[in-house]
A and B are shown apart, each in its own frame.
Chain A
Amino acid sequence: MAESKLTHRLTIPLCAVLLAGVFLLCVCAGSVAIPLGETLSVIRRALLGEEVTGSAAAILLRVRLPRVCCVALSGAALSLCGAAMQGLLRNPLADGSTLGVSAGASLGAVASLAFDLTLPAVPMAGTMAMAMLFAFLSLLLILSLAFTLDRSFSTHSIILIGIIFSMFASALMSLVISFAGEKIKSITFWTIGSLSGASWQQAGILLAALCLASLVLMRLWRELNAFAVGEENARAVGISVRAVKLTVLIVVSVLIGVCVSVGGTISFVGLVMPHIARMLVGPNHRRLLPASMYAGAVFLLLADLAARTLLSPIELSIGVVTSLVGAVAFVWIFRATKGGRR
């Protein structure tokens, strides 16, 4: 057992090294391959505030780096949300979208794309601002619905309300799409998830949201462990069950709202990667939450790399890659853990 504890301890530093390696690979590789030495020197000079010129520098600094940063941050965020929700709801099928906020955010984005809606006086791109606004409104609606239907916020009620709200938002989305005319293609592309046009500004927003959310959730690792064992047990050992539940739900929803507004609904990362992290470091959230973030970031980076290089010059949607790989991975995990009990 001492041996497995050692591997548990070593996993997180190894994950960090792996992430750094994959990150550099994704920055260098692409339709125009840039040698590692040149990449590192451009990054170093840009960090030092020097003027960097040339086509390689332009590709790296304006296109590839912001995109790769957004991909890594989104992957980490989605997977973190999944791990927290699977623990909180004691359900291996939960992820950040379980509460329905991501469906609401998608609705906002789709409406903005279809009808060219924008928020006046908001400097960000219209789609992103609308997605965030709708995510926030959905969260309010879902929580007040939960509050009226079941004041104790039982796990079953949360999952049911999430499913109902997601279906409702999807129906509205279909309705919007049927009025969208020739914008259908861009809407479809957006709904499957894509980070192709990601900017530094979006990376900054993602980073801020991820930092805040991971700080809050990491401080709740004990509480999440207790919830993962059972809600009655959590109450018995002295946890303020409702307060913790509300905190986790709100934090996850905010983070998911930001993720969806930047990259659309990228499925399977939040569902599958926490399971893989759990196989590596065990179910203790103290290690599981950071391990999930690393696993999600690495997975989404590789998925994005595959999306833009496999059929180059055609670019696949990242959501297609994650769903294809994720579905196969899920069957494998299900087999390995005999029904997700892990």
Chain B
Amino acid sequence: MLTARDITVRYGERTVVNSVSFHVRPGEWWMLVGPNGAGKSSLVRALAQAVPYEGDFLLEGVPMRGRKPADVARVMAVLSQQHAVQYSYTVEELVRLGRYAHERGFLRHMDSAGDEAISQALRDTGLTDRRHASLLALSGGEQQRVFLAQVFAQQPRLMVLDEPANHLDLKYQQQIFGLIQRWLMQGGRSVLSVVHDLSLARRYGTHALLLNDGRSAAIGPVREVLAPQVLSDVYEMDVFGWMRGLLSPWTQEE
């Protein structure tokens, strides 16, 4: 599905991603994890062709550099970390933007498959009754769900999600991650996501890439990469002990 070969991203003199390679197959959910400043978001932005990079991304075997953005967007959808919305678009107007790459020619507004995809995406993200609401009237979590609905409406084969759990409360974390997992299981599809919450990464990921200082510190099946010892080395703390400690007040009460 996606192959990254020796990806290097530099901002001026500073190298933020240093010669990273990985290979995502259909059916796999890759978790991109690592401490702050490890280069996760930069790697995603390079994949989204938003920053210059060295090396190659192959999407379904074809190099991405120089390809038409609309051709890429029919295969790969990207959820970037969102910034404040400026104008009062409705939920439906924003989700409809996800259909851009599928709408072709002069009659591009006659995209009937699109209407169905949009309705489905709104249903899946629990936004059907907010369809005509203004984005500015929504909470951060609701806005995040709108942008996720846009990704679903795009009907890609590869989803690239930068912090999909951002602003989501626990109920919607569970719902959205479950939704992505069911989407993934329909076959021929892959997910690559940046996730801060290591327990979410461990629970839903099939594979993981652990970045540290722009370099790949560990790569492979999620069970091996997110092993306590590997994590403790990179995060320079007892990650497992800390997470167990977080739960201990409840487990002790039980």
Main secondary structure of the interface of B (DSSP, over half): mixed
Residue of B nearest to A236 (CB): B78
Query: How far apart sit A5 and B93, CA to CA, in the bound complex (Å)?
Result: 13
* Chain A residues positioned under 8 Å from B73 (CB to CB): 236-238
Residue of A nearest to B72 (CB): A238
Residues of chain A from 213 to 252 with CB closer than 8 A to chain B in the complex: 222, 225-226, 228-230, 232-233, 235-241
Residue of B nearest to A340 (CB): B86
Residues of chain B from 74 to 97 with CB closer than 8 A to chain A in the complex: 74, 77-80, 82-83, 85-90, 93-94, 97
Shortest beta-carbon contacts, A-B, top 10: A238-B73, A238-B101, A283-B87, A238-B70, A1-B132, A236-B78, A232-B80, A237-B100, A238-B69, A237-B97
Q: Are B69 and A235 in contact (CB under 8 A)?
A: yes
Query: How far apart sit A90 and B83, CA to CA, in the bound complex (Å)?
Result: 12
Q: Is A342 an interface residue (CB 8 A)?
A: yes
A281 to nearest B CB, angstroms? 11
Query: How far apart sit A222 and B69, CA to CA, in the bound complex (Å)?
Result: 15
Q: Are A233 and B88 in contact (CB under 8 A)?
A: no
Q: Is B98 an interface residue (CB 8 A)?
A: yes
Question: Which B residues fall within an 8 A CB radius of A?
Answer: 45, 48-50, 68-74, 77-80, 82-83, 85-90, 93-94, 97-98, 100-101, 103, 132, 136, 147, 150, 154
Query: How far apart sit A278 and B88, CA to CA, in the bound complex (Å)?
Result: 9
What are 30 of the A-B contact pairs (CB < 8 Å)?
A1-B132, A5-B132, A91-B86, A92-B86, A222-B103, A225-B93, A229-B86, A229-B87, A229-B89, A229-B94, A230-B80, A230-B82, A232-B80, A233-B97, A233-B150, A235-B50, A235-B78, A236-B73, A236-B79, A237-B100, A237-B150, A238-B69, A238-B70, A238-B72, A238-B100, A240-B68, A240-B70, A241-B69, A283-B89, A342-B88
Of the candidates A239, A282, A283, A284, the one whose C-beta lies within 8 Å of that of B69 is A239
Query: How far apart sit A341 and B97, CA to CA, in the bound complex (Å)?
Result: 20
Residue of B nearest to A241 (CB): B69
Residues of chain A from 162 to 198 with CB closer than 8 A to chain B in the complex: none
Query: How far apart sit A284 and B132, CA to CA, in the bound complex (Å)?
Result: 13
Q: Are A230 and B101 in contact (CB under 8 A)?
A: no
Contact with B along A106-139 (1 / 0, CB 8 A): 0000000000000000000000000000000000
A23 to nearest B CB, angstroms? 30
Of the candidates B68, B82, B100, B132, the one whose C-beta lies within 8 Å of that of A226 is B100
Interface centre among B72, B74, B83, B154 (most CB of A within 10 A): B83
Query: How far apart sit A232 and B47, CA to CA, in the bound complex (Å)?
Result: 12
Query: How far apart sit A9 and B75, CA to CA, in the bound complex (Å)?
Result: 35
* Chain A residues positioned under 8 Å from B79 (CB to CB): 236
With A282-B88, A283-B88 as given contacts, are A237 and B154 in contact (CB-CB < 8 Å)?
A: yes
Query: How far apart sit A282 and B74, CA to CA, in the bound complex (Å)?
Result: 28
Of the candidates B80, B89, B132, the one whose C-beta lies within 8 Å of that of A236 is B80
Residue of B nearest to A231 (CB): B50
Query: How far apart sit A240 and B72, CA to CA, in the bound complex (Å)?
Result: 11
A280 to nearest B CB, angstroms? 12
Of the candidates A4, A228, A230, the one whose C-beta lies within 8 Å of that of B83 is A230
Residue of A nearest to B108 (CB): A222
A63 to nearest B CB, angstroms? 41
Query: How far apart sit A306 and B244, CA to CA, in the bound complex (Å)?
Result: 74
Residues of chain A from 1 to 60 with CB closer than 8 A to chain B in the complex: 1, 4-5
